[in-house]
Structure 1
Amino acid sequence: MAIDQAAQEAALLKRAITGISDYSSRSRRTEYFLYWIMAKLAGVCATMLATLALRGSSLTILMGLLFILLGLPQLALFARRLNDQDRSPLWNILSFLAFLTGLWTTVTPSPYVSLDKLVAALLAAATLIVAALPGTKGPNRHGPDPRTSDA
């Protein structure tokens, strides 16, 4: 049973990474948060290694590229979570603003707490809260329920 669940979670992670251009179907909360955890762990590890090896603008450029590489699948996942909740696509603005402010705070490092960091944190928290809301039960205009289908 545990092996079957691990295989399902691995398939969800694979779909999250390869589904970067899929903005029309639905995604489960499990898929969103598995990718979120994996991306945060990968980001922390890469940041630690890069900080040891690089300094100055090279580090800033690498951190910006890493943020973009890990953040783009998250934008598609958030859109699919909104589809699962049958929400308006305008809610994607929340995720896009969180992405932009996060990128800004990544490429303009400052040791101090500033308004841009506070805004980025609040937008990221709002995105996580919306993503954690349950989806509609059964099929909706974006497809079958991902919890009951093999999608």
Structure 2
Amino acid sequence: MVERFREAAASVTRTVSRTFVVAGRSRRSEFGYYWIASTLVGGAARLSVGPHLGWPSSAMVPDAINLVVIVPFFALFARRLHDQGRSAWWALALPPLVAANIYDHLRVNFHAYDAAWPELSMWELILLIPAIGSVAVMFIPGDVGPNRYGHDPRLDEREPDTV
């Protein structure tokens, strides 16, 4: 159990330290550990900061946390694409998803009945396609062995045993 926690902490630290690095490959577990850690940190921040702020500020806390958490996620997504032998240009499907999410959150919390902030309706259906694709990419296994984007990150942990 302690070893698993150390592995998770090392994985999250590696993801955050490589926030602006899209070169190389990342494992599925790195994505999973980062998602769990960001959910826990975001939930703790919402519970600790949210109740102490007034209405408009407390409604903005989730968006601010999401923006901070999403920055390392873009590079992680690009490295997951590399792990599968795909180009990182596919990561450009993420910004419209993030923008639509933030727009919808702002519309609901601040301008729910304002005609100047229309519902996304049809755009949400269109953006559902890249959303499902993004989730699928995160869980598809990567290429075994080296590919044109680098060495297999799963083999790194096995090498010390064979030496």
Between the aligned partners of 2:124 and 2:46, the Cα distance in structure 1 is 21
How far does residue 11 in structure 1 lie from its aligned partner after superposition? 1.0
Between the aligned partners of 1:107 and 1:13, the Cα distance in structure 2 is 29
2:61 is aligned with 1:62:
yes
2:121 corresponds, among 95, 115, 119, to 115
How far does residue 84 in structure 1 lie from its aligned partner after superposition? 0.5
Between the aligned partners of 1:29 and 1:136, the Cα distance in structure 2 is 12
Contact 1:86-1:142 at 8 Å conserved across structures: yes
Contact 2:51-2:58 at 8 Å conserved across structures: no
- Return the index of the structure with the highest Cα Rg: 2
2:150 counterpart letter in structure 1 = G
| CA RMSD, 1 decimal | 2.8
TM-score between both structures, scaled by the size of structure 1: 0.81
Between the aligned residues of both structures, percent identity stands at: 29
Q: Secondary structure at the match of 2:156?
A: coil
How far does residue 91 in structure 1 lie from its aligned partner after superposition? 1.3
1:83 counterpart letter in structure 2 = H
Contact 2:12-2:33 at 8 Å conserved across structures: yes
Where does the alignment leave 5 or more consecutive residues of structure 1 unmatched? none
61-70 or 20-29, which deviates more: 61-70
Q: Are residues 41 and 6 of structure 1, via their aligned partners in 2, closer, same or farther at CA, if it must alter by over 3 Å? A: closer
Between the aligned partners of 1:13 and 1:5, the Cα distance in structure 2 is 12
How far does residue 117 in structure 1 lie from its aligned partner after superposition? 9.5
Q: Are residues 102 and 56 of structure 1, via their aligned partners in 2, closer, same or farther at CA, if it must alter by over 3 Å? A: same
How far does residue 81 in structure 1 lie from its aligned partner after superposition? 0.3
Contact 2:79-2:88 at 8 Å conserved across structures: no
Residue aligning to 2:74: 75
126-135 or 56-65, which deviates more: 56-65
How far does residue 148 in structure 1 lie from its aligned partner after superposition? 0.5
